[in-house]
Amino acid sequence: MCELLGLSANIPADIRFSFAGLRQRGGNTGIHKDGWGISLYEGRGIRSFHDPNPSYSSEVAHFFHTSAIKSKMIISHIRQANRGRVCLENTHPFSRELWGCDWVFAHNGQLKHIKKKNLKFYTPRGTTDSEYAFCYMMDKIRKHFPNRPDKKKKLWSLIQSLANEINQYGVFNFLLSDSKYMYAYCSNRMCWVTRQYPFGKARLIDTGDVIDFSNHLSKNDVMTLIASHALTEDEKWYCMKKGEFKIFKNGKHQQLAA
C-alpha cells in the first residue's frame, strides 16, 4: 500500500514539518520504500520532485527538506509497490494538463481489472493501476467539459461520481487537484486536520519533533492537511467515512451540495 499527504492553505505554506514525518515512513518507521513524490502548485503550474528511491534516504527528499519552497496546494505520496515495478514512471503523484492547468493525482489502494476500461485521450506512462485510473478520470472530465465549466459544482459532482464508480474496482483513496481545488476521496482510510488560530503545539509521531505553530503562522492563516494516517499527536485528526468525498480551497472545506 502507500501513504498520501495533501495540503490546502490560504497562504503559501511550508509543509516540511509534516513531510518530515511522512518521509520517515518511506523506509524507516514505515515500509513504503518504493519511491516518493511531491507536487507543489505555483499558479497553474507545478513543481514536482519524484524519486524511485526510499523517501527516508532519497537525496531529492533531502534537498526538498532543506529548500524553502512553499505552496498553497501540495500533494505528496510514498509508495509501497503492488502493481507496476519500482521506477520513475510509476512514482506518484501523476500529472496531466487539461484546460491549461496541471491536474495532479496520487492514490492509495488497489484497483483490480481497472485496465479493462477504455482510454481515449490520456495514456499512462507507467504500468500502475493508479495512473490508469487517473487517465480514465481525466478522459471523462475532458469529455464532459472540454472547457472549465462555469458552474464548479457540476465538475465536483462528476469527480465524485467517477470516484464512486472506480471505487467499485477495489480500494480508491486519492488526492486530486485541478490547480484550484483539492479533492479527497476516502475508500477506507483518510483523515484530516485544520490548523488555524489559536495555534498550538504538535508533535510528529515518527520523529518526536515538536513545533509550536504560533511561532510560524499568523492569525489569519488557515491550512488543512489530509493524510492516510495522522502524522502528529496533540492535534485533532478527523477520520473521513467510507465513500466520503471532500473538497478544499484555501484550507477550508467547500460545500458540495448545490
Give catalytic residue positions.
2
DSSP symbol at 148: -
Residue 125 binding a copy of itself, by CB under 8 A: yes
Other CB atoms within 10 Å distance of the CB of residue 43: 8
Minimum CB–partner distance for residue 250 and a copy of itself (Å): 20
Query: Stretches 25-33, 85-93, 107-115, 154-162: which one binds a copy of itself (CB under 8 A)?
Result: 85-93
Handedness of CA 172, 141, 7, 50 (dihedral sign): positive
DSSP symbol at 33: -
Query: Stretches 89-97, 192-200, 203-211, 214-222: which one binds a copy of itself (CB under 8 A)?
Result: 89-97
Applying CB under 8 A, among 12, 126, 149, 243 the residue interacting with a copy of itself is 126
What gap in Å lies between CA 35 and CA 20, rounded to an integer? 15
Alpha carbon distances (Å) from 199 to 74, 179, 243, 251, 253: 21, 27, 31, 15, 19
Binding residues for a copy of itself, total number by CB under 8 A? 29
Alpha carbon distances (Å) from 195 to 134, 214, 219, 226: 29, 10, 11, 11
Tell me, residue by residue from 34 to 63, as one string, x for binding to a copy of itself by CB under 8 A and - for no binding: --------xxxxxxx-x--------xx--x
Query: Stretches 123-131, 201-209, 211-219, 249-257: which one binds a copy of itself (CB under 8 A)?
Result: 123-131
Residue 100 binding a copy of itself, by CB under 8 A: yes
Residues found near a copy of itself in the complex (CB under 8 A): 42-48, 50, 59-60, 63, 67-68, 87-89, 96-102, 121-126
